[in-house]
Chains A and B, each alone.
Chain A
Amino acid sequence: MDYKYIEQLLERYWAAETSPEEEAVLRAFFAQRDLPEAFAPYRPLFQTMQEEAQDHLDARFDERIMARIGMKDEHHHGRRPIMMRLRPLMHAAAVIGVAVTIGSVVNHIAQGTPEKPLWDYNAAAYQDTYTSPEEAFEVIDNVLQDVRHTYREATADATEADSTAANTPADSSRTATTDSAE
């Protein structure tokens, strides 16, 4: 069997020129049971390397380290707190919120202050007492007549009081009318 390739690898290994893959080949070669005698002296070296390569941290290493430093290993034991788990969602909400706020401010600036609607009452707050428009019309008509009567009477009295006051300035009328509701 030709072991030239192995010999070349060994030479390169001694010259520290081998790659990790080539060293793995050497380790695999020296791990075989039936090793040519010429290579036997090197077996212990590569066996040690093989064992070292197989060395790894045991399953409880993280746990023990975390216990030593007084922290819980959350990957293995228990769930992360809800605030931690919701953090990405909160970040997303904050970004959307900022974007919407900036957008509305820009829109507001671009369009100018929107004019308030003149009639600013809540239409939904008016629950009808009357079910038919005829019934409502009758009530409205009566109310308008009543208001007409009240207003006429009041303004007539006010005019009369004003003329009396003009004739006798010392007379004080208890009737007051103003139309300066600005």
Chain B
Amino acid sequence: MKTRLLIIVLLVASLATTASAQQQQDFASRFFMLHQDQYNLTCKTVSPSMMERVLQLPACDNDTERRQLLSEIRTLRIVSTPQHDSSGPALFALAQDLAHRNNKRYAPVLERQDNAIYRRRRGKNTLEIVILSLKPNGTFVLTDFTGRLGDDFLQRLSR
């Protein structure tokens, strides 16, 4: 009886450890997972290994500023609707709602009627930047960068 109890305790402890060690899901994959069934969404992904291969391209060698920006990005996801899809405004609102519901994780950098930017930080480091856009043709685009992004990543990007 004691042995059984001990085994159960150990099992629960190991499960708890596993659960705590679980890795995070990015905003884009979460949003895509939630809404892909109801809406006509596509998700395009660039993985960490592909980013490493991109950095080895000669095109990156010529532009040090661009190379620096790219080296900070580890993954990219683009979730979008087809052009002239009528669901764009609804999806924009849903994405904003998801960000607001997770406001401890995603802090707003900028919120406008047709654009919004959210940032996930840990300490002084930015881990994820989410950009929501509603294009004039009604297309909804969610762009999600993860990586070890500099605090001024967006400012440097906009130069």
> Within 8 Å of chain B (Cβ to Cβ): is A19?
no
Please measure, in the bound complex, the distance between the C-alpha atom of A154 and the C-alpha atom of B110, giving whole angstroms: 8
Nearest CB on A from B136, distance (A):
12
Q: Interface size class for chain B?
A: 35 or more
Let me know if B50 and A136 touch, CB within 8 A: yes
Residues of A within 8 A of B101 (CB): none
Let me know if A119 and B127 touch, CB within 8 A: yes
Please measure, in the bound complex, the distance between the C-alpha atom of A83 and the C-alpha atom of B2, giving whole angstroms: 13
Let me know if B112 and A180 touch, CB within 8 A: no
Nearest CB on A from B35, distance (A):
18
Interface contacts (Cβ under 8 Å), in number, total: 152
Let me know if B157 and A122 touch, CB within 8 A: no
Which one of B23, B54, B69, B117 contacts A136 once the chains associate, using CB atoms below 8 Å? B54
Interface membership of chain A positions 141-156, coded 1 if the CB is closer than 8 angstroms to chain B and 0 otherwise:
0011011101111110
Let me know if A150 and B133 touch, CB within 8 A: yes
Residues of A within 8 A of B147 (CB): 119
Let me know if B7 and A94 touch, CB within 8 A: yes
Which one of B50, B73, B131 contacts A133 once the chains associate, using CB atoms below 8 Å? B50
Cβ-closest chain A residue relative to B6? A94
12 A-B residue pairs with Cβ-Cβ distance under 8 Å, sorted by A, are A120-B122, A121-B25, A126-B45, A128-B46, A133-B53, A147-B154, A154-B110, A155-B158, A176-B108, A179-B109, A181-B108, A181-B119
Known: A118-B148, A121-B127. 18 other contacts (CB 8 A): A119-B147, A120-B122, A121-B26, A127-B45, A128-B46, A129-B44, A134-B57, A137-B60, A139-B76, A143-B76, A143-B78, A143-B143, A150-B117, A150-B133, A151-B158, A174-B113, A176-B111, A182-B107
